[in-house]
Structures are given as C-alpha cells and as structure tokens.
Amino acid sequence: MTTPQRILQNAYHVADIDEAIDRFHALWGLGPFLVRRHIQLAQVFYRGQPASLDISAAYVQAGDLQVELVMQHNAAPSAFRDAFAAHEEGFHHVAVMPADYAATLAHYAAQGFPVVTELRTASGRGASYVDTRPLLGHMIEVYPPGPGLTALYAQVARAAAEWDGRTLRMEVDPAG
C-alpha cells in the first residue's frame, strides 16, 4: 500500500451508550452526540458467515477527528464481542476510508489481518472490521467510499460547529 491512510475516527465499545455520552461530555466537553439506536443492518457477516448484529452508535466531533461510541445489544459473535464482553468497555477501532476498499482489505489480509465483521446498513453504507489487535491492540474499520458516509461525517462536524451547548443528544434515523 503506497497511499497513506487518514484516520477519520476513534471508536470505543461501551456498555451503556447514554451513560458513556455523559462521561465523554463531562471529561472533554464534547457535544452534541448524534445517536443512532438499533441501527438497521441489511447484511452482516462474521468471519465470512451470515450473522446478526444489533448495535447502537453515538457520533461526536472532536476537532478534526470523529469519536464513536458503540454498544452491542445482542450476544452474537462480532468484531465487538471478539474484543469486549457486554459489560466491558475500551478502545475498539480506528476508521479509515481508502479510495480502493477492496485493495485495502486485500492488503490487510496479506499481512495476516482478517476481516472479522462486514456489514451493510439498510441505506447501503457499509464497513469491514479488520482484526489488527495483535499488532495495534485494536481493530481497523474500513469504509467503502460513498456519499452517504461522507454526508454522515459532514453532519456530525456541522452539529459540533453549530452546537449551543444545550442539547447533548440528537436522535437520528437508525436506517440512515
């Protein structure tokens, strides 16, 4: 791989998304958090096999970097459960959006880092979670480029730039 990857996001697995929002706000003053509860997933694969996944996520801007809080509601095997039990919390992944999604996944696989979970939302956005824990201590989320994801990142950044400090949570469509 000759093109450097730009890290767009740091993500944390949390046991309770609302409590975590309060903690992250109290610690860093971040806000508002755009919350997508029980994200509608059209397709999920775990280690190449069809799977189910029930997650919620909260997104907030921290300077040039987006921060994501992810909570898995079910006990199904996933990139999140590979790293954390339901009650455990911690740093889970960084996210990148390379120009060539397939080549990037092949690059990681050639280095011995497999895709653990691949998903597509109801709106068509997707991501693959690559298990780089042996090297980095966390996973890498790889996004295929697309206008839907670019729009989400712009929405989160705009919300932070315009935030008046009053509304800490903004609920957004789980189908988005």
Q: How confident is the model at residue 63 (pLDDT cuts 50, 70, 90)?
A: very high
Place of tokens 């958090």: 33
Question: Is residue 1 over pLDDT 60?
Answer: no
Topology given in CATH for the domain delimited by 9-163: 2,3-Dihydroxybiphenyl 1,2-Dioxygenase; domain 1 (3.10.180)
Average pLDDT of 132-161? Answer: 95
pLDDT at residue 109 tops 70: yes
Task: Quote the pLDDT of residue 176.
Answer: 67
Give the residue-averaged pLDDT of 100-105: 95
Residues 48/128, Cβ–Cβ less than 8 Å: no
Give which of 12, 102, 25 is closest to 56, Cα–Cα. 12
pLDDT for res 173? 84
pTM over 0.75: yes
pLDDT tens-digit readout, 5-59: 899 999 999 999 999 999 999 999 999 999 999 999 999 999 999 999 999 999 9
pLDDT at 4 over 90: no
Q: How far apart are the first and last CA of the chain?
A: 31
CA–centroid distance for 94 within its chain: 8
Q: Beta partners for 130?
A: 115, 140
Averaged over 123-147, what is the pLDDT?
95
Give the pLDDT score at 148. Answer: 87
Phi, psi of 91 (to 5 degrees): -70, 130
Cβ neighbours for 37, distance < 8 A, ≥ 6 positions apart? 17, 56, 171, 174
Q: What pLDDT shows up at residue 53?
A: 96
